[in-house]
Structure 1
Amino acid sequence: MMSTSIMLFTRDLRIHDNPALTAACRAEHVVPVFVFDDAILNGPFAAPNRIRFLLESLADLRASLRDLGADLVVRRGDPVMEVAWLARQTGADRLFLADERSVHGTRRLGRLRELNVEVSAHPGITVVPPGDLTPAGGDHYRVFTPYWRVWNAARWRPIAKAPKAIRLPSGVTPESLPELADLTPGPSSPDPAPGGERSGRRRMARWLREAAADYDQAHDDLAADRTSRLSPYLKFGCVSPLELAKAGPDGFRRQLAWRDFHHQVAAAFPALAREDYRPRGDRWNEEEDALAAWRDGMTGLPIVDAGMRQLRREGFMHNRARLITASFLTRNLGIDWRHGLHHFNDWLTDGDIADNAGNWQWVAGTGNNTRPDRVMNPLRQAARFDPRGDYVRRYVPELADIEGSRIHRPWTLPASGRRASAYPPPVIDID
C-alpha cells in the first residue's frame, strides 16, 4: 500500500524552504490542504486587506502545486475536523504542518495530536522558533539586546529543498477558492501589494539586488522608501524568513530578530494583544474626536497624517511612520495603545498579532522597552526623516503646494501659502 501524508498549510504559503512540505513529500502521495478556519474568519483578525492577500497567495500556491503535478485542496470549517475527514478518505497516516506558537496555533496543534494520525510540526514561521533561545532562569527574553546577541550567534537550520514533484492521491476534490466578498465584508485598500510566493520572491530578489546594500543607512528615510516591503510576505509565509536572514544585510537581520523576539514574548505572554506586558497604572485619555482624527489622518500634524493615509491607501505603513503615529497617539494624545492596535489591525496587510502588539506596547511604554518614558516628537522626527517634505506631499495632497520643510508646520503659513480650508489645524500644540 502506498504511503500518504497530509500537508496542512497555515502561515507557510510557499514551496521554497518549507520544512514541513519537504518532510511531507517523502511519502508517495501528498494531500496539500488549506482550511479557511471559521474561528479566524469570524474573529477580529480577518481584515479585508489580509483576506485579499491570503486569497491571492493561495491562488499562487495552487498554481505552483499544479506545476509540480498536484493541487491545493481547499476546505472551510474546523481545520481539525477537515483533516480528520481527509485522513479517513485518503488513508493518510501522517500530518505535517508549520509549528506556529500563537494561542490559536498552539490550541490547533494540540487538538490535531488527538487525531489518529502521526503529527509532525516543523519550523519555518520565524528564523529561530520561540522557546529555542531562553535566558538562564527564565522562560523568555524580556529585553531585546541580549536576545539579539544569542539570536545572531545561534546555529540556524539549513534551507529546506523545494520538492520537484508531488503526487496527489486519486479521489480528492480540490474545490474552488472562495471570493473575497464570501469571506469578509468591509473596504480594502486601493493600492495593495500583490499576494503570493512568486510576487514575494520577485520583490525579495529585486530588493536584495537594488536596495539591500544601503539598508542600514536608508531604511528610516521616509521619502526614499528603501525598506524591503516584504512584511506581508513574511506574515503569510510567502517568503522564508530564514532565506532573508541569510541573504540580507546586518541591519535587516536585526529587524528579523525583532520579529522573532516579539514572537517569543507572545508565546510566553499570550495576552500581549489585550493586556499591558508591564503595567504602569496609566490612565488613558478617552477623547473620541482626537482618536477619530488620528484614524482618518486629519490631526493637523502632516507627518502623522501622511502615515495614517498611507495605511489606508496601501494596507502598509513605513516602519518609521508606524513609530511616529503610534507615539503621537499614546504619548501626545494619551490614548490607549489598544485603540491604535485595533485600527492598525483593521488595515495592515502584514498585521501580525505578536509583531503588532509587541511594537505598540514598546512605543506606549508598557512593553519590552528599556526606556519606557521615551517620546518621539513628531516635528523633530519629520525634520530628521522627511526633511524636504516629500513623504508628506505623497500622501497629503492638501499640502502639495508647500515646498521644503515648511510643509511640516503648515499652520504657521499665511492662508495664501496653503490650502487652509482643506487641511485642519493641529489637534494639540506641539513644540
Structure 2
Amino acid sequence: MNTSIMLFTRDLRVRDNPALAAACGADHVVPVFVFDNTILDGPFAAPNRVRFLLDSLADLRRSLRGLGGDLVVRRGDPVTETARLARETHASALFLGDERSAYATRRLARLRGLDLDVSAGPGITVVPPGDLTPSGGDHYRVFTPYWRAWEAARWRPVADSPKAVRLPPGVRPGRLPRLAGLVSGSPSPGLASGGERAGRERMAAWLREDAADYERVHDDLAADRTSRLSPYLKFGCLSPRELAETGPDGFRRQLAWRDFHHQVAAAFPRLPKDDYRPRGRNWCRDDAALAAWRDGTTGVPIVDAGMRQLRREGFMHNRARLITASFLTRDLGIDWRHGLRHFNDWLTDGDVADNAGNWQWVAGTGNNTRPGQTMNPLRQALRFDPGGDYVRRYVPELAGIDGRRVHRPWALPAARKRALGYPPPIIDLD
C-alpha cells in the first residue's frame, strides 16, 4: 500500500482543495499541519491571526475525522517534521498548496530536497502567480491589463471533495496547542470565528442577502454589507476559485486584485520591505502622530473609527483601510511601512502580498498609475458615511452628535467640545 502526506499551510479546507484531492488518491494519506517556529517567532505571531488559525485547524480536524481520518499536528521546522513523518509512515509522496511568498518558495525548495515525490497544487489564488504574463515581462505591473487577462483566462476545474481519508495505522495525531502556548497577548473581543464551516456559513449568508447589491453598497461604511470573507480567504478556509464563480462581478474584480498582488509579490519578494517603485519620498518622523493614528485618537472621526474598528474586531472596512492609510502617508507624511506593521499586528486577514500591495498603492510607491492621488478624509467621510453612523458605532465619545456634524466635532461650540472628551484634530482639515 502506498502512502502520501498532505501538508496543509494556508489551504485549511476539504472542499475544492486540489492538493488534498490528489493526496487522497493514495491508499493512505497523512494530513498534517506544522506550527512553524520560524513563522511563530516573526510578525505572523499576532493573537488575532493565531486565534483564527486555531479555530480553523479545529474545524479542519472535525472535517477530516468525519471522513475517517484526522489532522496530525506537529511543531517545529516543517521540512524536518515532514521528513520524520515520511520515515514513520513510509510515505512516498508529498502534496501541498502552491504558495509563492518568499518564505514559502524557500520552504518548497527544501521540501523538494527530501526523498519524496513533491507536488504543489493550485488553490491559494484563483489564477496562480506566473500563469499570466505580459509580452516582454515576467509579471503585470498595472492592474487593468492584468484584469483583462484574468477575465479571459481558463480557470482550473473545481476539485472534488474527498470521499474518505484513510490514515495509516499507528500515527499519533497530537493535540492542538492553546493560544497562550503560541503567542502572547489577547485577541480582539469582536474577532470572527475561523474555519471552513464558519466561512461557508458567512459566504452563504452574504450571497443570499447582500451579494446582489455589492456594487451599490460595498463602499457604504455604515451599512457594513461587505462580504467579510477576507480572513477565510487568507487562511484558505474558502476556495477563491469557488468564490470567483459564485460571487458578483464587482467582487470578482476584488479577487482579481488579490491575485494581482500575489503575482507582484512573487516577482518582487521584497514588496513588504522596499518601495516597488521608489519615488524619492522623504518621510517624516512624528512619533506622537503615529501613536495617535494607531490608537484612534487623531481627532479626525472617520480615521479614528477605522482604527478602533481594527482593534475591536481584527478587521476594518475596506473603504476605511484606504482612508486611514491615506491619512497616515499623505496627510501625516509617515512611511507606509509603519502602517503596514500596525495592520499586520491586528488584521486577521493580514496577507503578506495583499497588505503590502495595498499599502504601497495608497502611498504611491506601488502599482498605482496615479501615484499622486490623495484622499481627503473629510470628503471621504461625507461621501461614504453621510449620516455618521459608522463613526458613532466606533467612536462612542461622538455618539450624541447628530448627522453630518459628527465628522466635524472641532466646529462645535467650545463648551460642547470640552464635554465630549474627544481630542482636537492633530492636523487642520478646514
For the criterion TM > 0.5, the same-fold answer is: yes
Counterpart check, 1:85 vs 2:80: no
SS at match of 1:76: strand
* Structure 2 partner of 1:187: 186
- What are the residue-to-residue correspondences of 1:284-303 with 2, within 5 Å? 284-303=283-302
Q: Distance in 2 between matches of 1:139 and 1:286?
A: 36
Q: Distance in 2 between matches of 1:416 and 1:26?
A: 73
* Structure 1 partner of 2:235: 236
The alpha carbon displacement at 1:421 in A equals 5.0
- What are the residue-to-residue correspondences of 1:367-386 with 2, within 5 Å? 367-386=366-385
Counterpart check, 1:328 vs 2:333: no
* Structure 2 partner of 1:246: 245
Please say if residues 398 and 420 of structure 2, whose CA atoms lie closer than 8 Å, have aligned partners that are also in contact: no
Q: Distance in 2 between matches of 1:60 and 1:304?
A: 35
Distance 1:419 1:65, change over 3 A: farther
* Structure 1 partner of 2:274: 275
Q: Distance in 2 between matches of 1:188 and 1:29?
A: 37
Q: Distance in 2 between matches of 1:426 and 1:281?
A: 29
Q: Which runs of 5+ in 2 are unaligned?
A: none
* Structure 2 partner of 1:40: 39
Q: Percent identity?
A: 78
SS at match of 2:4: strand
* Structure 1 partner of 2:317: 318
Q: Distance in 1 between matches of 2:366 and 2:116?
A: 40
- CA offset digits 1:1-56 (Å, max 9, x no partner): x1110000000000000000000000010000000000100011221100000000
Please say if residues 402 and 418 of structure 1, whose CA atoms lie closer than 8 Å, have aligned partners that are also in contact: no
Q: Please report the TM-score for the alignment, with normalisation by the length of structure 2.
A: 0.99
The alpha carbon displacement at 1:430 in A equals 1.1
Please say if residues 296 and 309 of structure 1, whose CA atoms lie closer than 8 Å, have aligned partners that are also in contact: yes
SS at match of 2:54: helix
* Structure 2 partner of 1:227: 226
| Stretches of 4+ aligned residues off by more than 6 angstroms | none
Please say if residues 16 and 160 of structure 2, whose CA atoms lie closer than 8 Å, have aligned partners that are also in contact: yes
The alignment covers a number of residue pairs equal to 430
Please say if residues 402 and 417 of structure 1, whose CA atoms lie closer than 8 Å, have aligned partners that are also in contact: no
Please say if residues 15 and 163 of structure 1, whose CA atoms lie closer than 8 Å, have aligned partners that are also in contact: yes
Q: Distance in 2 between matches of 1:419 and 1:318?
A: 30
- CA offset digits 1:106-144 (Å, max 9, x no partner): 001000000001000000000000000000000000000
* Structure 2 partner of 1:7: 6
- What are the residue-to-residue correspondences of 1:151-162 with 2, within 5 Å? 151-162=150-161
What is the root-mean-square deviation in Å for CA atoms of aligned residues? 0.7
Please say if residues 200 and 238 of structure 2, whose CA atoms lie closer than 8 Å, have aligned partners that are also in contact: yes
Please say if residues 74 and 176 of structure 1, whose CA atoms lie closer than 8 Å, have aligned partners that are also in contact: yes
Q: Distance in 2 between matches of 1:371 and 1:166?
A: 51
- What are the residue-to-residue correspondences of 1:107-146 with 2, within 5 Å? 107-146=106-145
SS at match of 1:367: coil
Q: Distance in 2 between matches of 1:101 and 1:421?
A: 49
SS at match of 1:21: helix
Distance 1:184 1:68, change over 3 A: same
Q: Please report the TM-score for the alignment, with normalisation by the length of structure 1.
A: 0.99
Please say if residues 328 and 376 of structure 1, whose CA atoms lie closer than 8 Å, have aligned partners that are also in contact: yes
* Structure 2 partner of 1:150: 149
- CA offset digits 1:242-293 (Å, max 9, x no partner): 0000000000000000000000000000000000000011111101000000
Q: Which runs of 5+ in 1 are unaligned?
A: none
* Structure 1 partner of 2:399: 400
SS at match of 2:421: coil
